[in-house]
Structure 1
Amino acid sequence: MSGFHLDWNGVLSGPPASWLLAGLLNTGLITVLGSITASVLALALILLRTSELRALRNLAQGIVLVFRNTPLLVQIFFWYFAVYPALPEVVRDWIVSDHWFSPLANGFRCLSPEFFCAWLGLSWFTAAFLAEELRTGLQAVPLGQAEAARSQGLSRWKTLRYILLPQAMCNAWQPMIGQYLNLMKLSSLASGIGFAEIIYSTRQIESFNSHAIEAYAIATLLYLILGLLMGQLLLRFGLARYSGFSA
């Protein structure tokens, strides 16, 4: 250990300092934007899941299953290689254009295709888990609360907004905090260095095999099927194991 020396001057100045600063700013922006977007998406999913129309409930449930059971990195690849190229050219030109708010440090940019796709990927991924936490919080609200609100003449929307959702938020706030913190930790995937390396590696694979995207699609489908099977098995195991306690 006597030969080990940590050069703090080298870390805190020059390119390393720029990388650290860019990573910190990138994480902060992704966390703030992702948390806001994920919260809005989660509320929209909750509205769909509590709809009186079965088709809307099934749609929301399907969205949650897909984004919850698919690996995050695969989702980010989907946004980057499938969704981003399909955007209108004017949108893609705006993303890659120079803006006063874009530069971070050492040439890194907060607005780039990588940042844009990581933001969308993390937002939808987190929204699926937030929606599940909120749904659990809603289920913990006594049924009498909704009945009392209806008896006072409140509409279904007002009952959900003013009575049920605030209580659901209180019930689920602690696990929701965990999801927001998880978003912050996962934002490392969106770093200017890490994500660029991943994309570069994928481009190298494409140079040898033009079917790389198809391979990712198949892998996504397999992960999704595996996640659904595991979820069903664990659900049945839990019902079989604990049904006697709930009776």
Structure 2
Amino acid sequence: MSQTTMIEARPIPSRKRRSISWNSREGRSVIYQVVAIASVATLIWLLVRNTLRNMRERGIQSGYDFMGQPFGFDVSETMIPYDVMSTYWTAFSIGLLNTLKVAVIGIVLATILGTLIGVGRFSSNFLARKICYGYVEFFRNVPIYLQLLIWYIVFTEVLPPFEEAWQAGHFYLSKGGFSFPWPVWKLGQTLALIGLLAGVVGSWLYARKASKHFDLTGQQKPVLLVSLALIVGLALLGWLAGGAPTGWNLPVKGTFQIEEGAAFSPEFLALLLGLVTYTASFIAEIVRSGISSVSLGQHEAAASLGLSKRQSMRLVVLPQALRVIIPPLTSQYLNLTKNSSLAVAIGYPDLVSIANTTLNQTGRAIEALSIVMLVYLTLSLLTSALMNWFNASAAIQER
């Protein structure tokens, strides 16, 4: 005899209506937020209104119409051409590109140097370990402004003049900066650059695939050699497809300076080395603390699998330390980018330097500074977004 189970129908609970009332906790929180936003908006409105009124009373012009006028001053270092009719848009673009150049190169070099020093803090060699420790303690505790001035004095006072420049082949180092050969840019170089970027992307995808293969099978695929083959091979293929141009623009000693080729100015080198050495000391401590956060059992487990110390560090320790390293590393990248504004102290024409000159010529202080603030805010948000994406992709996935 079958038994029939009766399931009692339960009424579907009705969704609770949200009521904005002072008697409810949720209602009070909404009211507090509305009041806070309205207060901040009112404060900003009053500040802008009073500023504009005071400027009108004193006959001070306002607005961004000056950006379309010729800027009329010389820029010592630029990545894009300009002439006497170039507008302030061009001037700010030059400053932005100069800032990006020192920030991007500085971040790459500081990351490499800081990682090597941080890993070196765990070296079994006593001398190497103490040198890394001394580097961190020295450069971390000397103000960045003072370091920039010291490097600038080295490049402008200690190095020889261009007539007696230190030479190695077609490379020159003197008070005039660092001069080096540069290819005569043609289609082949453009295609080679595209191939290089494609090789970097391809090597990154291959490294991720090799890492997943290692996690599943325990078999390690060669990553370094394959990555180098992809990068070099695709760049070489692009160069050959563009006609394999071989022309080089070589630097030579002229009458007053080293001419031709490409060069890094002493201001750029002083700023770059100061930012790199200073930031690398903090990155080294971040790497050291991240490695220290990995338990000793992980090292022992890697050793029991027959991994060498180098393999253990690269395959076991550093991947786990990344979750501790990346968040503070993002702050150091932001600090390096913002510290580049100190370039004005040594005469490097970065964004802040261009803005200061523009301010002195036009008197548009608020407008010039607002452009600088907007640019640095945008760069900081982009850097944070990129590092947050990298942090999410590097997070350890639970099985």
Partner of 1:91 in structure 2?
A: 173
Aligned: 1:196 with 2:347: yes
Q: Residue 13 of structure 1: CA displacement? A: 4.0
Partner of 1:52 in structure 2?
A: 124
Which residue of 60, 65, 70 corresponds with 2:137? 65
Higher RCO (C-alpha 8 Å, min separation 6) = 1
Partner of 1:164 in structure 2?
A: 317
- CA gap of 1:7–1:194, structure 2 versus 1, over 3 A, is farther
Alignment of 1:115-126 (within 5 A): 115-126=268-279
Paired residues of 1:96 and 1:113 also in contact (CA < 8 A): no
Partner of 1:6 in structure 2?
A: 62
Partner of 1:145 in structure 2?
A: 298
What amino acid sits opposite 2:173 in the alignment? V
Which structure has more helix as a fraction of its residues?
1
Query: Normalization by structure 1: what TM-score?
Result: 0.68
Paired residues of 1:72 and 1:125 also in contact (CA < 8 A): yes
What amino acid sits opposite 1:138 in the alignment? I
Paired residues of 1:133 and 1:176 also in contact (CA < 8 A): yes
Partner of 1:43 in structure 2?
A: 115
2: CA distance between counterparts of 1:185 and 1:151? 45
Determine helix, strand or coil for the equivalent of 2:346: helix
Paired residues of 1:48 and 1:60 also in contact (CA < 8 A): yes
2: CA distance between counterparts of 1:78 and 1:177? 27
- CA gap of 1:111–1:82, structure 2 versus 1, over 3 A, is closer
What amino acid sits opposite 2:304 in the alignment? S
Post-superposition Cα deviations, 1:186-239, rounded to whole Å, max 9, x if no partner, equal 11122xx55318xxxxxxxxxxxxxxxxxxxxxxxxxxxxxxxxxxxxxxxxxx
Q: Residue 56 of structure 1: CA displacement? A: 1.3
- CA gap of 1:77–1:169, structure 2 versus 1, over 3 A, is same
What amino acid sits opposite 1:139 in the alignment? S
2: CA distance between counterparts of 1:186 and 1:155? 39
2: CA distance between counterparts of 1:182 and 1:196? 20
Q: Residue 40 of structure 1: CA displacement? A: 0.8
Partner of 2:327 in structure 1?
A: 174
Q: Residue 12 of structure 1: CA displacement? A: 4.7
Q: How many residues align?
A: 189
Post-superposition Cα deviations, 1:84-109, rounded to whole Å, max 9, x if no partner, equal 634725223663689789xxxxxxx9
Paired residues of 2:110 and 2:280 also in contact (CA < 8 A): yes
Q: Residue 5 of structure 1: CA displacement? A: 3.7
Determine helix, strand or coil for the equivalent of 1:95: strand
Q: Residue 149 of structure 1: CA displacement? A: 0.3
- CA gap of 1:52–1:76, structure 2 versus 1, over 3 A, is same
What amino acid sits opposite 2:62 in the alignment? L
1: CA distance between counterparts of 2:181 and 2:121? 41
2: CA distance between counterparts of 1:50 and 1:67? 19
Paired residues of 2:178 and 2:263 also in contact (CA < 8 A): no
Which residue of 99, 114, 134 corresponds with 1:27? 99
Q: Can you give the 5+ residue segments of structure 1 that lack an aligned partner in the other structure?
A: 102-108, 198-247
Post-superposition Cα deviations, 1:26-84, rounded to whole Å, max 9, x if no partner, equal 11111110000001101210232110022211110100111100011111122121256
Which structure has more strand as a fraction of its residues?
2
Q: Which stretch of the first structure deviates more once superposed, 59-68 or 44-53? A: 44-53
Paired residues of 1:95 and 1:113 also in contact (CA < 8 A): yes
What amino acid sits opposite 1:14 in the alignment? P
Post-superposition Cα deviations, 1:91-150, rounded to whole Å, max 9, x if no partner, equal 23663689789xxxxxxx983110111011101111000111111111111111111000
2: CA distance between counterparts of 1:167 and 1:73? 35
Paired residues of 1:26 and 1:110 also in contact (CA < 8 A): no
2: CA distance between counterparts of 1:181 and 1:79? 22
Q: Residue 168 of structure 1: CA displacement? A: 1.5
Root-mean-square deviation (CA), in Å?
2.8
Determine helix, strand or coil for the equivalent of 1:7: coil
Paired residues of 1:130 and 1:176 also in contact (CA < 8 A): yes
- CA gap of 1:65–1:94, structure 2 versus 1, over 3 A, is closer
2: CA distance between counterparts of 1:39 and 1:111? 21
Q: Can you give the 5+ residue segments of structure 2 that lack an aligned partner in the other structure?
A: 1-51, 72-87, 161-165, 186-261, 349-399
Q: Residue 19 of structure 1: CA displacement? A: 3.4
Query: Normalization by structure 2: what TM-score?
Result: 0.43
